[in-house]
Chains A and B, each alone.
Chain A
């Protein structure tokens, strides 16, 4: 007997935090027969390899509205799931070193205020009190989000998985989707090797592999896979309180509950399809630490890893129905998909279950590039051009 069912209401392709969050929300809305299939192991995708930073505010109103909602979802997630995702609201600081970024912060603060995200400008004394270890003389401007923070991957991944299973969602790892079949212009089934699962709808939440999955269904999806890397230092006692984005250095970092400083930088490189790590990110990240947190100089690097993202043309998520194929849904293009997962699950769950597209996800529609409506966002640590 096969471990897979013969039919499903919704097959979710990808069991990362996006796939699990959407599956959970579908079940929460009473959709039965949801099946999640993942080619790798639990936490093997970007959802188990990221910086775990969570914030609500960005520079654009679209991102801020969406991620502000997701941040609220994080704060209630323990209650929603009935399991502890260990979200720790320890704050999040964005740091500027150049006048250009400082100017961008001015606009961002206004956007936050207009869209209900709590943020404040940190003056020099503020920087020194929130981040006593930072080389404050290098900081030209800083924004602090009270409600931002982090959650160690394993905790929300464990909480979502348990909550999914408790609500009857079938989740299978080491189960690679090899085909997506269509009939009469609609999605009709998903293949796992020889096994066929008839499906009313399919949600692609396959991270870096989302374009490839769309191809299986015979449709295109903008974007390409790209590796980014992060590293962890040997543990030290708490010295860095909030999560941090060092915008001018394309760097992000925080100190975990285990005392390890985890973070990375983005080095503009050709996109390479592999999880292998390379020297420039490690040495570049170390340089950022050395200059911005001099006390880390003699702390050792413990491990360094890579993870794959799906980069969309405007670096923003691709959310909603696929314009070319009925009953095919997409949650992909994520570069901040950890932070965005509880919100995306909530809004996508609603969309798939009721057909209603929430205003906060509408700007990220999959067909926005065809309509000439990309979303411009400057407050992210990605090597955008």
Chain B
């Protein structure tokens, strides 16, 4: 893949599945691999289809780095000498016999290999079969030689207001609170607040100097009706943080959701945030020939990419997309014409990530339900805007993935719908839809949209399965380091 002209010159050597690769200083591991034209970074759970950096489906960016399993390559900074390996392969990534599973008819693995009636349990045969399944399902080895003796110590701080995310809305909210004399903490995923928003909009509103900023932190949960916000650094070896605020502002913005159609899961299909992060921060073009679709923002995203030297071959409304082609990676799209491309960037429909707000207010005894209104928690900017509807592709949809990581197709969902099952909690349990590392975001939005289309009504009528924290995985070590900081509720 093409390196853009603003790339930093310094080279950084690492290995991918034992092969030597060179990236550049400032790359994420994912970007360095993308630059080396390695677009398949992961394999789906059951069929071992290739998946890559997408910004939507987390499995496509998980790999083992040195001895740490399930590291997000799109966030992991590149360092010299890293040993990076693809997961969910056997005996090796280069000769992956597990990928033969791709040849199995999809119907055979509905709900996973586990659901077999061919091999009744209680038999010796089942024990052997189960052992094999466990091995195949396990994805990656946990390190056998532990190197940590004490958990990275967590911290607890009390503030008046905590603002989650440093985009324009977060900065405005944080500054306003500081000007009212409150103690404000702004936490952001990027090392400086507003990094990702800046890629899109260029300049950001001024941040009041009294706002305390904490970069490189991901808010993973809200507990006790907003009494605690918990956040963890991306590096699982560094301690996490519990914040006890009086008020919470969620300014987590919106993200682009891929259309629900066959091919939307292929390596090379990515959201605008991922494409811009590759191009702006790492000087890597998302592709040699890039198509950009969207619900309005495609023109602006294409302009930003072109300014950086990316070859954008087409822009089109997401609505106009008829087909995505490719087997191991995207090779083209069809709108009103055929377009050859090796990257498809989507900039809309835009939807807020509902998980943190849900955790803040949900309650229930038989099922956790969204709070009718949140107290002490407010949504700023895009996070509070209405979600744009999911776009379903025209034409045969059966082969599309509602949940690519777990290989749940439209056909599998419809198989249960035809038997009368439309309860999303039940569909989740029958298919494992949304039970991978993305935890249902955005798959459950796609699920509801599909049900509305096929059964009738509006997506909201179907609701969503419970969003279960932590929204982003913190490591066992980080969580252990928080122990004792929050008293049990006695």
Contacts and interface: CB of A to CB of B under 8 A. Distances in A.
Interface stretch (B267-275, B296-304, B315-323, B481-489): B481-489
Given A237-B140, A272-B489, A300 B473 contact: yes
Interface string B356-373: 000000111111100000
B240 to A, nearest CB: 9
B69 interface: yes
Interface string B111-138: 1101111011111001100110111011
A48 B429 CA distance: 9
A40 interface: yes
A371 interface: no
Contacts of B236: 298, 300
Secondary structure at the B interface, as helix, strand, loop or mixed, is: loop
B122 A77 contact: yes
B144 interface: yes
Nearest to B237: A298
B127 A89 contact: yes
Nearest to A236: B142
Given A301-B473, A303-B468, A44 B130 contact: no
Contacts, number: 243
A286 B117 contact: no
Interface stretch (A108-116, A287-295, A325-333): A287-295
A236 B69 contact: yes
Interface stretch (B173-181, B191-199, B223-231, B386-394): B223-231
B480 to A, nearest CB: 4
Interface in A241-295: 255, 257-259, 267-270, 272-280, 282-287, 289-291, 294-295
A215 interface: no
A297 interface: yes
A299 B142 contact: yes
A239 interface: yes
Contacts of B162: none
Interface string A60-97: 00000000000000111111000111111110000000
A279 to B, nearest CB: 4
Interface stretch (A98-106, A148-156, A178-186, A356-364): A148-156
A302 interface: yes
Nearest to B70: A234
Interface residues on A, range: 35 or more
Contact of B469 (A77, A235, A304): A304
B134 A238 contact: yes
A13 interface: no
Given A43-B426, A279-B486, A289-B480, A259 B121 contact: no
B186 interface: no
Contact of B138 (A85, A236, A285): A236
A224 interface: no
A85 B122 CA distance: 9
Interface in B278-332: none
B47 to A, nearest CB: 15
A301 B480 CA distance: 11
A301 B469 CA distance: 9
Contact of B119 (A84, A208, A273, A295): A84
A67 to B, nearest CB: 17
Contacts of A276: 362-363, 368
Nearest to B148: A297
A41 B475 contact: no
Nearest to A135: B146
Contact of B130 (A43, A88, A286): A88
B189 to A, nearest CB: 16
Given A274-B365, A277-B223, A257 B477 contact: no
A278 B489 CA distance: 9
B151 interface: yes
Contacts of B138: 235-238, 259
Interface string B141-175: 11111101001000000000000000000000000
A305 interface: yes
Contact of A279 (B142, B146, B151, B228): B228
Given A235-B138, A286-B476, A298-B148, 17 more contacts: A40-B366, A45-B366, A78-B123, A79-B120, A84-B116, A87-B121, A133-B144, A154-B430, A236-B140, A276-B362, A276-B368, A279-B482, A287-B480, A297-B480, A298-B68, A298-B477, A304-B469
29 contacts: A41-B367, A48-B429, A78-B126, A84-B115, A86-B130, A89-B127, A153-B429, A173-B423, A235-B137, A235-B139, A239-B142, A258-B45, A259-B134, A279-B230, A282-B470, A286-B479, A290-B151, A290-B477, A291-B480, A294-B146, A295-B142, A295-B143, A295-B144, A295-B146, A297-B476, A298-B237, A300-B475, A301-B474, A308-B365
Interface of A: 39-45, 48, 74-79, 83-90, 133, 151-155, 158, 173-174, 208-209, 233-239, 255, 257-259, 267-270, 272-280, 282-287, 289-291, 294-305, 308
A-B residue pairs, 9 tightest by C-beta: A300-B473, A294-B146, A286-B479, A237-B138, A259-B138, A78-B120, A40-B366, A283-B483, A290-B480
